[in-house]
Amino acid sequence: MSDFNSDIWSYFVALVSLASIAACALLLWMTARGRKPVRADNTTGHVWDEDLREMNNPMPRWWMGLFVLTIVFGLGYLVVFPGLGSYKGQLGWSTGGEYEAEVAKAERELGPIYARYTAMPAEKVAGDPGAMAIGERLFLNNCAQCHGSDARGSKGFPNLTDHDWLHGGTPDKIKESITQGRIGVMPPMAAAVGSPEDVKNVANYVLSLSGSPHDSVRAGLGKSKFAVCAACHGVGGTGNTAVGAPNLADRIWLHGYGQDAIVAIINSGRTNQMPAQQTRLTEAQIHVLASYVWGLSKAPDGGQ
């Protein structure tokens, strides 16, 4: 009830709950007491399908008993558990308390395991099958929604199994990314580059850096204009992990490949955000998860 600003809603919910139970009791009493006029043969006169007649027999006592039990159970439930507005019930039970109890139980059971892994460097954790099983589960529950269940990412979401890292691929940097999150911003650069033709020329120069198919004439014209991009991406376009600027000299394209895709990025810019996980995961969980992610790029088939 904390979502409501007035106690009137608490009283309203309590009143509706009690009134509903009272209405059930009243219905039961009226049904048991009320009798329709009957004929000598104990029928009500209601006939359908030519020969099916409605009898005026009283309700079975077992049915009446069950109805009464449901009313008693309902009243007892409202006394013991929350249900009457802001009244917490005699047991003080709540879904939040249940969740906290389950979390506390899990921490007691998993605490010693996580403590052992926390004392180990990421390189050793990545080689422990038990730790990697936990790391995989943490990844599937918290990271796979964006990076995919195989961690190979998709358009706009980095592949974590290759060796291309926007902010660095050391265990500490990965842990920092998971803990604090990341916000990657490339501002629109069309005005700084020049005319639309200049933008196309720069796009072809960017393609040339990785040896991708490109227009060599446009690439030659775009080289000098690339100077406005070099502040972040470096003179050779090899990127800058300090600011999360991608390496443009490889063939890994986070937001699409080809002249049109690069032109769109130069014209409109890009903003990517990875949310911080420090409020969702414990420090020990982040350590295991970071070790798992680090290990993905070290696998024999990483980056393939």
pLDDT tens-digit map of 206-223: 999 999 999 999 999 999
| 52-61, 107-116, 138-147, 225-234: the lowest-pLDDT one | 52-61
Q: Which helix (H) or strand (E) holds 273?
A: strand 270-274
pLDDT at 167: 94
So where are the chain's domains?
8-80, 103-181+282-296, 185-274
Mean pLDDT of the chain: 90
pLDDT tens-digit map of 155-207: 999 999 999 999 999 999 999 999 999 999 999 999 999 999 999 999 999 99
- State the amino acid at position 109 in one-letter form: E
pLDDT at 41: 74
> What is the pLDDT averaged over residues 76-91?
90
Its CATH architecture, for the domain 185-274, is Orthogonal Bundle (1.10)
Rounded Cα gap, residues 42 and 150, in angstroms: 73
Q: Which helix (H) or strand (E) holds 52?
A: strand 52-55
> What is the pLDDT averaged over residues 76-99?
90
Classify 55 as helix, strand or coil: strand
What is the tally of helices (H) and strands (E) in the chain? 13, 4
Rounded Cα gap, residues 1 and 172, in angstroms: 43
Rounded Cα gap, residues 160 and 39, in angstroms: 83
| 61-65, 130-134, 272-276, 287-291: the lowest-pLDDT one | 61-65
For residue 121, count CB atoms less than 10 angstroms from its CB and return exposed for 0-12, middle for 13-18, buried for 19 or more: exposed
Contact between 184 and 272 under an 8 Å Cβ cutoff? The reply is yes
Backbone angles phi and psi of 284, in degrees to 5: -65, -40
- pLDDT band for position 31 (50/70/90)? confident
Nearest to 153 by CA among 243, 249, 255, 250: 255
- The CATH topology of domain 103-181+282-296 is Cytochrome Bc1 Complex; Chain D, domain 2 (1.10.760)
- pLDDT band for position 302 (50/70/90)? very low
**In the chain, what's the furthest Cα-to-Cα distance?**
109
Rounded Cα gap, residues 39 and 138, in angstroms: 73
Q: Is the pLDDT of residue 304 over 50?
A: no
CB 89: neighbour CB atoms within 10 A?
Answer: 15
Rounded Cα gap, residues 274 and 153, in angstroms: 13
Q: Is the pLDDT of residue 150 over 90?
A: yes
Q: Is the pLDDT of residue 1 over 50?
A: no
Q: Is the pLDDT of residue 303 over 60?
A: no
Q: Is the pLDDT of residue 83 over 90?
A: no
pLDDT at 30: 84
pLDDT tens-digit map of 32-79: 776 666 677 777 777 888 878 887 777 788 988 999 999 999 999 999
| 52-61, 223-232, 283-292: the lowest-pLDDT one | 52-61
Given this chain, do its domains 103-181+282-296 and 185-274 carry the same CATH topology? Answer: yes
